[in-house]
Each structure stands twice: as C-alpha cells, then as structure tokens.
Chain A
Amino acid sequence: MADGRIDRDPIVDHAIESLRALPPSQPESVARVVAAAARARAQDVAPDEDDLLADGLEEPRGRARRLTTIAAIAAGILLLAGGFALWRVEHSRTDVATGSPVSGHGAATSFAAAQGTNGENSLDALLIPTQFVFDGRARHVSLVGDFNNWDEGATPLEREPGSTLWSATVPIQRGRHIYAFMVDSVWTIDKRAPVARDPDFGVTGSVILVGRP
C-alpha cells in the first residue's frame, strides 16, 4: 500500500481507478518528441558525424572532444550567469530601496513595474523581489503562498524594531500569486490586497500580481 491509510472511501477509490486509465498509445507523438529532442541536443553541441558509431554510441576520442566543447560552452554560460547574477543583485537592491512606503494594516508591493513590458517572454523566468508587509501585534509572523509551497516555516517576516510592522522580501516569478500571513500560526489574509477566489485550503487568500505596473 502506497500510503498505509485505512480510511478507504469508495468514492475516492473509484475516482483514483478512473484517473489511472492511461491515454491511448500515440506512436506519432513519440516520434515527434524524439525528433524534437534530437534537434535540441544537436543544437546544444554539434559533433562531427564520425564521432558517432552506427549504434549511436560515441567513440572515446569524439566524446573527449565533445566534452571539451561542452566545458567551453559551460564556462561561457557561467561567466554570463555570474555577471547577470551580480546585475540582478544590484538591481534588486535598487528596486527594494526605492519602493513606495507601505502603510496601513498590511500590504504586498511588487517592485517589478520598473522592468517595463518589453520582452515579456524573456522575463517570465525571472524572480522579482517582492515585499510583503504586515502591520499588527504578534509573536511570530510568516508568509505562505503558492510561491513557497505554503510552507509556514519557509518565509518568516522580520519585525521592524520599535514598531508593529513586519516585512519580508521574496523573489517571485511574474504572474498572479495567492498568499496569506500566518500570524501566530493563524491564517490571516492581507486586508489591503484583493481576495482570491481560489478555494485554497478551504479558506480565502490574498492575491498579488507580480510584474504588472
């Protein structure tokens, strides 16, 4: 038994049985996938044809040459990534530092608007530092949301000394996200943010749109 549970329920059991039905075999889809993968890998590294044996296994000499090529490409990517990461860190600091002051009971503020709307597709994968603020008396406040797997321990908020303001800045992908504060382990929505319609955990959450002006 995969879960060791004993609370068998006929409705859920028959639903599971129904969902286990495999889609019909699709040889043409498999062929399409294999062709696409082969093209993609050929674009990654284009080895000479004589580097490959008839069965597709590479000769050691060809493999070594290929590994050298991969190493060179990887080194280039690492250099670019390192430079980009430094650029991101600098810009993140700038974004957060210049964000609008937050007031009221609680608020979440995205600092992505400054990124503009050009090249949206290339920005989809970027993580945008987003500040969440809760105002209230509590012993412990943390943030839960779809961006941290609803893990109560993942994102604690820090209280500003001498105030009731708690905040945390989290890197989040562009898009619509649902979240809530856990205030002394009590689910608390952000009263300054729109309420989510999604029935998460049976209660409502708050919505933030990251990356939209």
Chain B
Amino acid sequence: MSRPLPDRAPAPPPVLDSTLVNRAKLGDIKAFESIVERYFGRCLRFALGMLRDPGEADDVVQETFVRLYRALPRYEERQRFDSWLFRILGNCCRTANLMKQRRDSVDARDEATMLALPSADRTDAMFDYEWGDEVRRALAEVPEYNREIFLLHYIEGFSYEEIERITGIRQSALKMRVKRASDFLRTRLAGVYRG
C-alpha cells in the first residue's frame, strides 16, 4: 500500500522574540540559553546532514553558538535571526569538512563513515529505520555545495530568496543545486524505496 505524500514545505519556524535577542545581545546568558534551546535541534540536524564526519556535529554546533554569542553585539535586526545563525553554521560545517578532508588522504565518503551515521530517534517500523538510514547514506554522497542548499530549502524551510541572502548565490543557481540533489537522491534511492 502506498503511503500519502508528505508535505514538502515544512512548517514555518516560529518567529523569535526580538526581546530575547536584544537581551542576549546585552549579555543576558539566560536569554541566550533560551535561544540555544530553541535552535539546537535544528542546528544539530543540519550539521548531521552536512558533515563528512557526523561525529563532529556536536562540536560544530557548539562552535557555531559560541561564534554567534560573541558576534551578537553586532547583530542587526534587519536580517532574520535564523538566517544569520545558519550562515554561521554553514561556514562552520564547511570549515570542518575542509579540515576533515585535509586529515583524510582518501575520500571521506567511505563505508566506515556511512556506517557511523547516527540514526534519527525513530521508533516506528523497521522499514522506516532502514529507509532513514539509506536516506542519510545517500545524502552523504550528494556533493556538499548541493547538499547544503537542499537542506536549507527542504529541511530547514528557507525560501530561495532567503538562501540567496544567506549564501550570496543567485536563485537560479540555487534551484539548479536543489534539483541536482533531488535527482541524485531519487536515482540513488530508487532501488530501496518500497512506497
């Protein structure tokens, strides 16, 4: 029996209270903690999808929030807070991947790395577990520059206009990258998809 198609457009992220940001800007650590609590899961999800070594995800997310907190006094409210956060996170992920690439003389997309991918917190059927695992393996094989845009758009829910502001890449190029990532996933997963 085929399952209904899920909605591709994720629910819009909740708007962050600007008072919370302003208090964090002034050094209120409690306000900053509220911000971290609100975004930690999304950041970790994005990092797990982006990093060549998912085991580094916790450290990369920590580094992101540390950078964000140090830069908060310079944050201007005319840009969306989550856009700014994910720009920093994207930079941290790319840097971590570059460092990882330098450490490894061989292609990091080897089987050992794939096997190390953590599983999402799923408790439903074994098929879903295996499917989720296959999806993450396939995603890890998508080139980084396509994967990042795919994740920002379809998983984190940013519009192309917003991603253009985050990355500086033109929308036409962004759409092409998302299409290439989608095409890759479709081809790669066709053999294991059971509807």
Q: Do A and B come from one complex?
A: yes
A2 pairs with B8, CB closer than 8 A = yes
Task: Give 4 nearest A-B pairs by CB, closest first.
Answer: A56-B28, A37-B69, A21-B120, A17-B6
Q: List 26 A-B contacts (CB under 8 A).
A: A2-B157, A9-B182, A11-B189, A11-B190, A13-B5, A13-B8, A15-B138, A17-B6, A18-B135, A19-B136, A20-B45, A23-B120, A24-B121, A25-B41, A29-B40, A29-B62, A30-B40, A33-B40, A34-B36, A37-B70, A41-B27, A56-B31, A58-B26, A124-B99, A146-B145, A149-B145
Nearest-Cβ distance from residue A197 to partner chain B, whole angstroms: 6
Q: Give the contacting residue for A57; candidates B26, B154, B190; CB below 8 A.
A: B26
A29 pairs with B6, CB closer than 8 A = no
Interface residues of A in 1-31 (CB under 8 A from B): 1-3, 5, 8-26, 29-30
B residues near A, CB below 8 A? Answer: 2-3, 5-6, 8-10, 23, 26-33, 36-37, 40-42, 44-45, 48-49, 58, 61-62, 65-66, 68-70, 73, 95, 98-99, 101-102, 107, 118, 120-122, 128, 131-132, 135-136, 138-139, 143-145, 151, 153-155, 157-160, 167-170, 173, 175, 178, 180, 182, 185-186, 189-190, 193, 195
Cross-chain pair count, CB within 8 angstroms = 181
The answer to the question of A40 belonging to the interface, with a C-beta cut-off of 8 Å to chain B, is yes
Nearest-Cβ distance from residue A10 to partner chain B, whole angstroms: 6
- Across the interface, which residues of B come within 8 angstroms of A174, CB to CB? 102
A34 pairs with B8, CB closer than 8 A = no
Please report the C-alpha to C-alpha distance between residue A19 and residue B89 in the assembled complex, in whole angstroms. Answer: 18
| A-side interface size class | 35 or more
A21 pairs with B132, CB closer than 8 A = yes
- Across the interface, which residues of A come within 8 angstroms of B9, CB to CB? 1-3
- Across the interface, which residues of B come within 8 angstroms of A5, CB to CB? 8
B58 pairs with A14, CB closer than 8 A = no
Question: Could you say which of A93-101, A109-117, A198-206 contacts chain B?
Answer: A198-206
Nearest-Cβ distance from residue B12 to partner chain A, whole angstroms: 9
A33 pairs with B62, CB closer than 8 A = yes
- Across the interface, which residues of A come within 8 angstroms of B49, CB to CB? 19
